[in-house]
């Protein structure tokens, strides 16, 4: 029987995009926990933010931070060898991203050269990040603790010249609720790296991923069963349209819950 691995975005997917709550997903979360399924959080959020939500979710599985910049593997998850550096907390870190200090240096250089009105989280106070994101002050402070990428906003409409300059500099950008500048990594690279470890550990695996935004596209492309979660306004990200894609009926965590309960029920019936 294949081992099921679920990769999930947070904001607008497992978490409500306005309230950051996941109560609507509790039935599916209970099934996942009861069946011993690995739920891997794969988010644009920082390690500090993800530790906060893993505690709330009682989750002890590996997790992926900052759009694939870092893969954190808690002790005991794998017996196969890991090409990873130990962390002070006892976790192992597989680094795919460029250090934030270098990302920030190039971001500032591009901004100065192009005279573009763009601001990153590093330019903002905790209060400004909270106002922009809807996070409380404690979580906004965690969101500023970047390791691998820099979230940013334009002063007006997005400027394609700035986004192209990021690519020309050998970096990449993506977009969730806001833009991010980062190195040569994405969620898909991190998911594939972690799936390789799961396959070494368990042999056959079945992979599911759920996301709602452009930054989730590489993750959705990397799994067997991709799920696109509806936005709160009823829309889907039009840039995501891949073979085998399931679209949820409901938005956010309610749609997340419905899709996974249906998939896991169907999967279990086929295995009986």
Residue 47 contacts residue 91 (beta carbons within 8 Å): no
149 is an active site residue:
no
What lies within 8 Å, CB to CB, of 50 at 6+ separation is: 10, 41, 43, 63, 65, 72
Label the pairing between strands 92-95 and 85-86.
Answer: antiparallel
Q: 3-8 and 38-42: which strand pairing?
A: parallel
Distance (Å, whole) CA 179 – CA 90: 32
Catalytic residue chosen out of the listed positions 9, 149, 186, 216: 9
Are 148 and 182 in contact, with CB atoms under 8 Å apart?
A: yes
Residue 210's nearest CA partner among 158, 154, 262 is 262
With contact defined as beta carbons under 8 Å apart, do 256 and 28 qualify? yes
> For the chain, how many helices (H) and strands (E)?
9, 13
Q: Which residues are catalytic?
A: 9
């Amino acid at each position: 029987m294949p081992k099921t691995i679920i990769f999930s975005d947070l904001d607008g997917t497992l978490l409500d995009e306005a309230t950051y709550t996941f109560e609507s997903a509790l039935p599916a979360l209970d099934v996942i926990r009861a069946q011993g399924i690995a739920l891997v959080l794969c988010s644009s959020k920082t390690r500090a933010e993800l530790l906060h939500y893993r505690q709330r979710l009682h989750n002890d599985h590996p997790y992926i931070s900052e759009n694939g910049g870092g893969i954190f593997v808690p002790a005991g998850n794998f017996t196969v060898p890991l090409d990873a550096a130990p962390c002070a907390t006892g976790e192992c870190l597989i680094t795919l991203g460029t250090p934030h200090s270098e990302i920030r240096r190039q971001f500032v250089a591009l901004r100065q050269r192009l005279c573009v009105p763009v601001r990153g989280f590093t330019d903002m106070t905790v209060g400004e990040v909270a106002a922009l994101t809807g996070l409380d002050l404690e979580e906004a402070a965690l969101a500023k603790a970047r390791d691998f990428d820099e979230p940013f906003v334009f002063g007006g409409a997005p400027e394609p010249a700035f986004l192209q300059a990021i690519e020309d500099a050998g970096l990449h950008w993506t977009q969730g609720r806001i833009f991010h500048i980062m190195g040569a990594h994405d969620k898909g690279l991190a998911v594939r790296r972690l799936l390789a470890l799961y396959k070494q550990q368990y042999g056959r695996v079945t992979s599911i991923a759920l996301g709602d935004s452009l930054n989730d596209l590489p993750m959705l492309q990397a799994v067997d069963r991709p799920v696109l979660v509806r936005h709160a306004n009823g829309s889907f990200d039009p840039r995501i349209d891949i073979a085998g894609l399931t679209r949820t009926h409901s938005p956010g965590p309610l749609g997340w819950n419905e899709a996974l309960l249906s998939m896991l029920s169907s999967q279990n019936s086929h295995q009986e």
